[in-house]
Amino acid sequence: MTEFQINDPSLESQWRALILFGKNSATYKFAFAKSLLELIDEEVTMVSLADLAKPFSRNITEHLKQSDKQGNSSSSRFLNYCRDFNNGLIEESQLLLQTEKLGFVNVVDAFQNVNGGQIPNLFYEKDYANGKKQIVIKDDLLKLKESFHFQNFEQETEARWNLVETAWNLNINPNLLEVKYDETASLFFLESDFMRRKDITSVRDSLNGYQKGKCFYSFQDISVKKGSANICEVDHFLPHTNKINHSNAGANINGVWNLVLADASINNEKRVKVPDIKFLHRLYNRNEFYISSKHPLAETIINQTGRTKEKRKAFLQKQYDIAKANAIQTWSPSIELIGNF
């Protein structure tokens, strides 16, 4: 069990743990996850690998068009077939045959594992008996459709995929990576002496999973889906009105470490107030979730706040003290549900 799941055994938390913290040796797990989400939406209870090959290969080929590196291996027969399809060298029927044969070799077994063990509530089971190759969808996977958070899962998966493939394709020392925040476009992007600006993904989509789909302050459900009545806003935990003081103390107030998602009405309450100190511990935990989930957001937060847990705690406390020294009082939300991180 990851720290992310402590005090939170929900199905939503287990799904997010697989997406955010599962092993990343290839991006197949993201394509598989998006395929499973399609099955949930269609309420399918059993699916053959032949049928699963279509959504799975579609997701892989679409990402290959944007980022050619989709795994740590130096070569992949399956990815080569996907590239051949994109280049018009093979027909879709041939791609689907090779996807069924090669695409699921490891991902079906590996997907439900995190930190070396399976999640408590399995979402599917293999059924390869008597020459069949299919997976049986379990009720716990179908129950996810009933969750408020189901609407966010596809965007969260896509955002995580974008972050992973960006790190692989840049081929830059992680210590030099700095994910930056575009407040106007609400995007994370990369820019350095080695490269021009590269937009990575939506800030909302990237942050939501690490907050378990909850408002950082009130712990109410929030959405990242455009048009939703519950769509969240991006907030600076420590207000940027005192950014010069923070900058003098070695901090970028626009850094990933200081960005959280909040319910719109709660964010309107907060404005430029400094949150009560109890929320500082939640910010630390949220940042540690990032760090457990690998590059590039992880390295960015480490670069911004410190290479050890002790240094990161000291950094946050120092920045909090600076903000509080310039505030008349601290703030707590008018609505506050019980949190679990």
Q: In this prediction, what percent of the chain has a pLDDT beyond 70?
A: 96
Residues 6+ apart with CB under 8 A from 303: 175, 177, 178
pLDDT tens digit sequence for 135-158: 999 999 999 999 999 999 999 999
Residue 332's Cβ-side half-sphere holds a number of Cα atoms within 13 Å equal to 7
> What's the pLDDT score for residue 173?
66
At 295, is the pLDDT very low, low, confident or very high (cuts 50, 70, 90)?
low
Which position has the higher pLDDT, 9 or 56?
56
Distance separating alpha carbons of residues 159 and 252, to the nearest angstrom: 23
Give yes or no for residue 95 having a pLDDT over 90. Answer: yes
Give residue-wise pLDDT tens across range 165-208: 887 887 766 666 688 999 999 999 988 766 788 899 999 999 99
Residue 321 pLDDT > 80: yes
pLDDT mean over 25-31: 91
pLDDT of residue 6: 79
Which pLDDT band holds residue 75 (cuts at 50, 70, 90)? confident
pLDDT in tens, 203-248: 999 999 999 999 999 999 999 999 999 999 999 999 988 889 999 9
pLDDT tens, position by position, 256-280: 999 999 999 999 999 999 999 999 9
Task: Compare 47 and 3 and report the one with higher pLDDT.
Answer: 47
Q: What residues form DSSP beta bridges with 234?
A: 261
* pLDDT value of residue 25: 78
The pLDDT value given to residue 267: 97
More confident residue, 240 or 54: 54
Question: SS3 string of the chain?
Answer: CCHHHCCCCCHHHHHHHHHHHCCCCECHHHHHHHHHHHHHHHCCCEEEHHHHHHHHHHHHHHHHHHCCCCECCCCCHHHHHHHHHHCCCCCHHHHHHHHHHHHCCCHHHHCCEECCEECCCCCEEEECHHHCCEEEECHHHHHHHHCCCHHHHHHHHHHHHHHHHHHHHHCCCHHHCCEEEECCCCEEEEEECCEEEEEEEEHHHHHHHHHCCECCCCCCECECCCCCCCECEEEECCCHHHHHHHHHCCCCCCCHHHEEEECHHHHHHHCCCEECCHHHHHHHHHHHHHHCCCCCHHHHHHHHHCCCHHHHHHHHHHHHHHHHHCCCCEECCCCCCCCCC
Asked whether residue 1 carries a pLDDT value surpassing 70, the answer given is no
State the average pLDDT over residues 44-59.
96
